[in-house]
Structure 1
Amino acid sequence: MSRRILCIEDDLAIAELVEEVLVEAGFLVDRAASSPSGLARLGDAHDAILCDIDLPGQSGLDLLRTLRARGSQIPFVLLTAHAGRENQIEARRLGCDDFVAKPIDFELLLAVLNNVLQKSAPPAATAQPPVLTEREREVLAWVARGKSSTDIAEILGIRERTVNFHVDRVMRKLDVATRTQAAITCVRLGLIPG
């Protein structure tokens, strides 16, 4: 899934170049030319903000202050030709995640952006084991014991084709290539007895 970035930059040439680089890197990009228009465009779908400090009207620092006062924790990266110590201290106090100085080193910009997005990503949900039917568990329990499809069909009183159908379904559910891998994975996940 592509991450969506809001780029707030009043210099059209820079904004277009940033957008081009980010799109090539697989991001979706929305642009705004001022803090108020950026604030108006900002939505829940945005994963990060790239913002110039020196904007007409309300500065990038003012926008950052507004967002943090509203409780927004969206990653915020300042693009600036004014990366002086005072601006950096002020931005850090306001909760800025990082800086990229102008002229922009686009390789650095991508590294910074990927870093702040990684830090802000919610913890991955623990994958739930697939749900197997009673028949699938029964068939895989016999596979785990080393029985062939012919043997399993005879033991369970079903057709060999039906056995293979259940084995194939379990292999797809577990995303494995062989019946042996399916059986081992099922035992490891506690889906069948070991």
Structure 2
Amino acid sequence: MEKRILVVDDERDICDILQFNLENDGYIVDVANSAEEALDKLTDVHSLIILDVMMGGMSGFKMAEKLRKSGNTIPIIFLTAKNTENDMLTGFSLGGDDYIPKPFSVKEVLARAKALLVRASLVNKPMETKWVYRDLVIDATSNRVLITDKEVSLTKKEFEILSLLAQASPNVLTRNEILSSVWGDNEFVLDRTVDVHITRLRKKLGEYASIIVNRSGFGYYLNIESKHPQ
């Protein structure tokens, strides 16, 4: 099934360029020239939003915040001429999944869009394999984690986070992606909840704690160099 992308920018030339190239890459593309129009056009069939930050009326940041507060977890790539660390961190804190400064390379946008869509599909894909790394075994069929043949006592959420990271490895999963997959639409769960569970999980993994890596400003990934599914 073809992925559907919503491009939102008040510069029509940018919308035209992105639409042309994304469609050439095999995507179905809808265009909106304001956040207000985008909210009207956005449907459950869209898989990604490419969203300009600085627009007349509602800003891209405000639109993203509105979507996240309503429980919508669709991946968002921000496009912006504001290229400072604070702006980037603001984008991620509001639920953005990637951030590309203007002027941008079309090839970079296409590559980032593809990577984000792949990552999002991994989050929603059930894990049906056993992952082995040295003496560490993550067995999704029995919901058990073993280290040197001894079972590690994990809570349900801790196991779900670890197995999700194993499935997605080496891709980075954002806190929003982890929240969406593990906690679903529970609006009372905060990003900090993921960090707390990761901290507890690392303690229980002992010598393997370091395989869970935090990529600052992005999220978490599992650093398993020689993992293999069984």
The residue aligned with 1:63 is 63
1:95 & 1:74 partners in 2: Cα distance? 9
Is there any run of 5+ residues in structure 1 with no aligned partner, and where?
Answer: 127-194
1: CA distance between counterparts of 2:119 and 2:23? 21
Query: What is aligned with 2:79?
Result: 79
CA apart distance, 1:75? 0.3
Deviation (angstroms), 1:36: 0.7
Higher helix proportion: 1
Shift of 1:99: 1.1
Contact 2:91 2:99 in 1 (8 A): no
Give every structure 1 segment of 4 or more consecutive aligned residues whose post-TM-superposition deviation is greater than 2 Å.
none
Q: Which residue does 1:51 correspond to in 2?
A: 51
2:16 aligned partner:
16
Distance, in Å, in 2 between the alignment partners of 1:41 and 1:124 is 30
Cα deviation per residue 1:109-168 (whole Å; 9 max; x = unaligned)? 111101111111121687xxxxxxxxxxxxxxxxxxxxxxxxxxxxxxxxxxxxxxxxxx
Q: Which amino acid aligns with 2:108?
A: L
Instruction: State the partner residue of 2:31.
Output: 31
Give the structure with the higher percent strand. Answer: 2
The change in CA–CA distance for 1:29 and 1:93 in structure 2 (over 3 A counts) is: same
Q: For 2:46, what is the secondary structure of its paired residue?
A: coil
Task: Tell me how far 1:92 sits from its aligned partner.
Answer: 0.9
- Cα deviation 1:33-68 (Å, max 9, x = unaligned): 001100000000100000000011110000000000
Q: CA deviation at 1:83?
A: 2.2
Letter in 1 for 2:20: E
Could you tell me how far apart the structure 2 residues matched to 1:39 and 1:93 are? 20
- Give the letter aligned to residue 13 of structure 1: D
Moved more, 24-33 or 94-103: 94-103
Query: Quick one: distance in 1 between partners of 2:127 and 2:86?
Result: 40
* Other-structure match for 2:106: 106
Does residue 2 of the first structure (1) align with residue 2 of the second (2)?
Answer: yes
Structure 2: unaligned runs, 5 residues or longer: 129-230
For residue 125 of structure 2, what is the aligned residue in structure 1?
123
Q: Which amino acid aligns with 1:106?
A: V
What is the TM-score when the length of structure 2 is the normalising length?
0.53
